[in-house]
Structure 1
Amino acid sequence: MFSGDTSLSDNIVRLARGADILVHEVIDLDTYKNFGLPAALLDHLKVSHTDVKDIGPLAERCGVSTLVLSHIVPADKKLVSAASWRKLAKKGFGGRVVVGDDLDEIPLRGPPFCSLSPGRHSGKGMMERTMAGNTTDEIPDSGAAGSGRGMTVLRNGIGVLRTFSVDEPELGVTEIATRVGLHKSTVSRILATLEQDGLVERDPGSRRFRLGLGVIAMAGPLLADLDVRRAAYPVLQELSHRTGETAALLVWNGAEAVCVEQVASRHEVKHSTPLGTRYRTAASSSVQVFLSRLPPERVRALVTSGAVVHPGLSDAAVDAYLLRLAESAERGYAVNYGETSLEEVGIAAPVFDHRGEVVASVLVSAPRFRVSAEGVPVLGETVRESAAQVTARLGGHRPASDG
């Protein structure tokens, strides 16, 4: 983005959005004030040019990673050195500042998370677009370095997407940048690319971002091909109808139980489990189901490392938890009676595949005021029976060790 003799303008921010580099003229008004110029001339310079003290915040608003100072006035380095220009322009800007000179070559890195296709880029890791002359930032065009850059760009994009959650569905650029540890200008460019592909959306009023419908489109083939999800859905419908409560299906990702399907309760007051919700607390009934089938030493490692959250990490507390898991496995269902939330009851039971291994858990979630302590065993048996139906639909079976 090039800007010639011009004063500060919001139009520059609009035109530069998504650009990698802003090339902008600057003037040091303080130097001319020291010359004793007439007030009318100073006013003309002020309204017709951009003071170097104002260019940093402008570049930051544009979201660029590099600011190039051009058409510098005064040009005499004896009056204002290159170091002084850089120092003044850096105020309010977190990117790189280049004091432009004749025949400078400024490589354009292109937007992060971009799609690189051989047809457009000739198989190289980035577009070779330069201004001409001496290189100020050497960038290899292929090989291991290019591959590493590509992986970094991909990880940054994934990191941005993962900042959104059920609890915080909308986030601003500054919040995202803080969480992923990237500069705001970098995050702005990533979000611009993700927005183009529908993976994030921006609220017109608040200007905050949220996940877009493109994420669901990407996950669609996976969810549609998830056999256990297809097998479970009609059972979840029946379970929700019988109990009047929310029924859900969760799978294990190694340290968390993740909701992949749900049928919400018909009641106005209910506990829902949105798709993608993750549970990693030891008291969660679904987490208990999965952990109860792991070797005790593996459970102990997950709990003591903090991967699974458990209050009070004494050896006695972990031993008591392992005993609780064994009892849940023997009973056929696990219970969370107001432990993770005083107002909620969760009861979950395992789903087995053809190898007798747990592949999912069926969960019923209900407000505590509708489930008495005496009613837990009845509801637990209902959930266990539903999980057994899903197991049968998958062609699975309980492990022989369960009897």
Structure 2
Amino acid sequence: MSSTVTKALGLLEYFSEEEPEFGLSELARRSGVDKAAVHRMMNAMAESGLVEQQVDTRMYRLGAGVLRLARVRETAFPIGSIVHPILDGLSQETGETAHASLVSGRSLANIGTSESKKGNRVSLVAGEVLPFHSTASGLATMAFGDPKLMTRVLSGPLLARTAHTVTDPDELRARVQSVQKIGFAESDHTNEEDVHGIAAPLFDRMGQACGAVSVSTPSHRMTEAQRNLTIAAVMTAAQTITAGMGGQPSRAYGELAARVMEDLGLQ
């Protein structure tokens, strides 16, 4: 893919539920791309319906073309109908917020969330891009995904999201290797203050991680009993979603997951 196309599609990643519209200057500032170049790329994507520009405010937002493509994707390869009921059950079982994410290009995108019913809860935005290096979902995906993914993440900027974020490549590699040994990932205060995440990988048909399912809990509410419950529930949900998507874990991971469940007294 040419660098121009890559940069153009990369502009779409800035749009979210929290920030559904952007002006030209702000997109240029966020992306670090020349304003004139951003203008050309946005105009080209507007012609394809991927974005549209408000006549009065001149603000850009995602266009109907994105919705059409999303419907085609969901019809041909249903994800939402598989994931959302499982996330609802996972949230109900753990009492906390459950969410699933998939690798989308060079990003990890949240594709579904079921929020806790508790007043004090972790909230995620649909379509939110999750950092690989600071989230449990990202660590789980890197640990069992394409090795090129970890290489790319480690070679890129590792921004500190909190005072506890691991930004040293060697230390992060060691964390990923630990995840490979235990079959699931944890993050505590590393992406958001007072948020403890536990995630298990989702696998594609080739047996490589293509995303993760996770439960996010306020750290002050995480006890040993809650942790064990969450690990078991997340790993079970990950297996169910993987099967529903037509994926399959490697034999080695399947054996590892079985040992984890046995240690938790569930097999």
Question: Would the alpha carbon gap of residues 340 and 161 (structure 1) be closer, same or farther in structure 2, given more than 3 Å must change?
Answer: closer
1:346 to 2:191 alignment: no
Residue 325 (structure 1) shift: 2.3
8 Å CA contact 1:255–1:307 kept in 2: the answer is: no
More helix by share: 2
Matched residues in 2 for 1:243 and 1:289: separation? 19
* AA aligned opposite 1:363: S
Q: Tell me the equivalent position of 2:259.
A: none
Question: Would the alpha carbon gap of residues 268 and 208 (structure 1) be closer, same or farther in structure 2, given more than 3 Å must change?
Answer: farther
Unaligned runs of 5+ in 1: 1-147
- Per chain length, whose mean CA-contact separation is higher, i.e. which structure has more relative contact order (CA < 8 Å, sep 6+)? 2
Q: Tell me the equivalent position of 1:181.
A: 34
Matched residues in 2 for 1:188 and 1:296: separation? 35
Aligned pairs for 1:271-350 (under 5 A) are: 271-294=122-145, 299=150, 301-306=151-156, 311-313=166-168, 318=170, 320-350=171-201
CA RMSD of aligned residues (A): 3.8
8 Å CA contact 1:356–1:397 kept in 2: the answer is: yes
Question: Would the alpha carbon gap of residues 175 and 286 (structure 1) be closer, same or farther in structure 2, given more than 3 Å must change?
Answer: same
1:35-80 Cα distance to aligned partner (Å, 9 max, x none): xxxxxxxxxxxxxxxxxxxxxxxxxxxxxxxxxxxxxxxxxxxxxx
Q: Tell me the equivalent position of 2:265.
A: none
Q: Tell me the equivalent position of 2:46.
A: 194
Question: Would the alpha carbon gap of residues 352 and 175 (structure 1) be closer, same or farther in structure 2, given more than 3 Å must change?
Answer: closer
1:197-231 Cα distance to aligned partner (Å, 9 max, x none): 58335396xx2625246233432222343345443
Aligned pairs for 1:105-144 (under 5 A) are: none
Residue 383 (structure 1) shift: 0.8
Residue 399 (structure 1) shift: 1.7
* AA aligned opposite 1:275: A
1:209 to 2:59 alignment: yes
Unaligned runs of 5+ in 2: 160-164, 256-267
Matched residues in 2 for 1:396 and 1:271: separation? 29
Q: What secondary structure is seen at the aligned counterpart in 1 of 2:133?
A: coil
8 Å CA contact 2:42–2:51 kept in 1: the answer is: no
Residue 155 (structure 1) shift: 7.4
1:130-163 Cα distance to aligned partner (Å, 9 max, x none): xxxxxxxxxxxxxxxxxx9xx97x7786465455
Question: Would the alpha carbon gap of residues 210 and 241 (structure 1) be closer, same or farther in structure 2, given more than 3 Å must change?
Answer: farther
Question: Would the alpha carbon gap of residues 271 and 155 (structure 1) be closer, same or farther in structure 2, given more than 3 Å must change?
Answer: same
8 Å CA contact 2:46–2:63 kept in 1: the answer is: no
* AA aligned opposite 1:187: H
Aligned pairs for 1:1-400 (under 5 A) are: 158=9, 161-165=12-16, 168-178=19-29, 179=31, 180-183=33-36, 187=39, 190=42, 194=46, 199-200=51-52, 202=54, 207=57, 209-212=59-62, 214=64, 215-253=66-104, 255-294=106-145, 299=150, 301-306=151-156, 311-313=166-168, 318=170, 320-372=171-223, 375-394=226-245, 396-400=247-251
* AA aligned opposite 1:332: G
Structure ID, larger Rg? 1
Q: What secondary structure is seen at the aligned counterpart in 2 of 1:183?
A: helix
Residue 358 (structure 1) shift: 2.2
How many residues align structurally?
Answer: 245
* AA aligned opposite 1:356: G
1:299-358 Cα distance to aligned partner (Å, 9 max, x none): 3x3344116657443xxx61x433432332332321111111112222111123454332
Matched residues in 2 for 1:168 and 1:395: separation? 33
Matched residues in 1 for 2:144 and 2:208: separation? 8
Residue 362 (structure 1) shift: 0.8
**Structure 2 length normalisation: TM-score?**
0.71
Say which of 246, 249, 252 aligns to 1:401: 252
8 Å CA contact 2:184–2:198 kept in 1: the answer is: yes
* AA aligned opposite 1:305: S
* AA aligned opposite 1:285: A
Q: What secondary structure is seen at the aligned counterpart in 1 of 2:210?
A: strand
Residue 196 (structure 1) shift: 11
Matched residues in 1 for 2:210 and 2:91: separation? 21
Matched residues in 2 for 1:363 and 1:274: separation? 14
Matched residues in 1 for 2:7 and 2:209: separation? 33
* AA aligned opposite 2:34: G
* AA aligned opposite 2:95: G
